[in-house]
Amino acid sequence: MFDIAQHLTNFIFAGERTRVETVTLDGARYPRFVNEFWTARQRQAASLHEVAYRACFKPQLPRFFIELLTTPNDIVYDPFSGRGTTALEAGLLGRNVIANDINPLSAMLTRPRFFVPDLDQLADRLATIPINPRARAEVDLTMFYHPRTLAEIISLRKYLRARRDHLATWIRMIATNRLTGHSPGFFSVYTLPPNQAVSPVRQIRINSKRQQIPVYRDTRALILKKSRQLIAGLSADQIETLARVGRRARLLTRDARATRAIANETIQLTVTSPPFLDIVQYAQDNWLRGWFNGIDAHQVAQKITTPRTVAEWAAVMQQVFVELFRITRAGGWVAFEVGEVRGGQIKLDEIVAPLGVRAGFACRGILVNQQTFTKTANIWGVKNNARGTNTNRVVLFAKR
């Protein structure tokens, strides 16, 4: 098996050699490797990743492990896929992809980006979408949108409901991402970032405080603008590779503890970052995205496991590791990214390492990627570098 310890020990970035420490957990000693292993300064990530989603890690993290521990056509998996960062990085690198997330919005935001559209064809399709200027929503959304913008959104929603071709799914993905935000690049008046929709009552308060009213936003122009931004810099080879991988990719909507659709011993590498505790209120945050896509956010929220204590969280993750052990092939790997919470008092890597070992994996060590805060958002709803995750901690497991 690849000598990961030697590789990480000898890793040098910006002249700094890895610092190797030792940590004892449940009576066993494991190496802890501290360095700047991945950073935006090393390699610019593809713009295709820039779709807002809570608690998403930067693409350089999965790329580090995919390049190190897999070869083309290996299967890379993420049981908590989120916006699809691991899946897309694996696709860009020519690996096969299985992604899972119990939130159906994850697949809606991930699958279309494997099939990059021609911008002229996209513009033509947008121009053909009929707009009913008198369209009305079944809920009051006037605190978010100008009447003309709202009519376009409702018309777009109706049009997309009956269509599943690659242009329609791309438009749905972009529109879902542009529904609300805090800049003129979104359909709405100024509000919270796009991964967290406030209630109508709270938006009325925001409007009053800021003395703002919704102005018209051209939804078709904004969809095209965001599409250009996502596609920028992609080469023809990358677009072709993504499409090839996408045709074989499997995007599941399951509980990560029970993914029977994945065969035994087929996954070469899992790279993931699990949710922690019950801080994210799914139904509250996603009610508007759910409305646009015909998803009952309350029903989805009931399916999402929300442990309230560290012990309950660890019990759920133990079951996840048992399932990961089943689907990982001999010689395969799991890179399980966690972080410091509660002001650094709880180090989840020290909780996770014994869980993987009990499931049958060998823990090859803990990587601490020390750098400026790397996530665009965090799961706990607190300020970066304050009380939430302030470093990447990845527990690395191997199946012998």
Do 223 and 368 fall into the same domain? Answer: no
Do 259 and 393 fall into the same domain? Answer: yes
Report the domain count for the chain: 2
What pLDDT, on a 0 to 100 scale, did the predictor assign at position 41? 57
What pLDDT, on a 0 to 100 scale, did the predictor assign at position 387? 39
List 25's β-bridge partners, or say none: 28
pLDDT top residue among 21 and 378: 21
What pLDDT, on a 0 to 100 scale, did the predictor assign at position 341? 65
**What burial class does residue 118 get, using C-beta atoms within 10 Å of its C-beta: 0-12 exposed, 13-18 middle, 19+ buried?**
exposed
Give residue 251's domain range.
Answer: 4-114+236-398
Domain boundary at 229, 253, 274, which?
A: 229
Q: Contact, 97 vs 87, CB < 8 A? A: yes
Do 284 and 360 fall into the same domain? Answer: yes
302-322: per-residue pLDDT in tens? Answer: 888 778 888 999 999 999 999
Q: Contact, 226 vs 185, CB < 8 A? A: yes
pLDDT at 231 over 50: yes
Q: Residue 280 — very low, low, confident or very high, per pLDDT cuts 50/70/90?
A: low
What pLDDT, on a 0 to 100 scale, did the predictor assign at position 185? 96
List, in sequence order, every beta strand (DSSP E) within 215-279.
Answer: 250-252, 267-272
Do 372 and 357 fall into the same domain? Answer: yes
Percent of the chain's residues with pLDDT above 70:
90
Do 48 and 94 fall into the same domain? Answer: yes
Report d(CA 296, CA 309) in Å as an integer.
Answer: 27
- Where does 111-146 have alpha helices with state H? 119-128
Do 247 and 334 fall into the same domain? Answer: yes
pLDDT top residue among 55 and 201: 201
Do 44 and 138 fall into the same domain? Answer: no
Domain boundary at 229, 253, 268, which?
A: 229
Segment (H or E) for 247: helix 236-248
Tell me the whole-structure pTM to 2 decimals: 0.91
Q: At what angle do helices 348-359 and 310-327 cross, to 10 degrees?
A: 40
Structure tokens of 80? 């908590």
Q: Please compute the mean of the pLDDT values over residues 319-341 and round it to a whole number.
A: 93
Do 252 and 364 fall into the same domain? Answer: yes
CATH of the domain at 319: 3.40.50.150
- Residue 30 has phi, psi (to 5 degrees) of -130, 145
140-196: per-residue pLDDT in tens? Answer: 999 999 999 999 999 999 999 989 999 999 999 999 999 999 999 999 999 987 778
Q: Please compute the mean of the pLDDT values over residues 323-327 and round it to a whole number.
A: 98
What pLDDT, on a 0 to 100 scale, did the predictor assign at position 14? 78
Q: Please compute the mean of the pLDDT values over residues 14-28 and round it to a whole number.
A: 92
Do 354 and 260 fall into the same domain? Answer: yes
Domain boundary at 214, 229, 244, which?
A: 229
Do 31 and 69 fall into the same domain? Answer: yes
Do 70 and 150 fall into the same domain? Answer: no
Cβ atoms within 10 Å, residue 123:
15
What pLDDT, on a 0 to 100 scale, did the predictor assign at position 386? 39
Residue type, 379: I
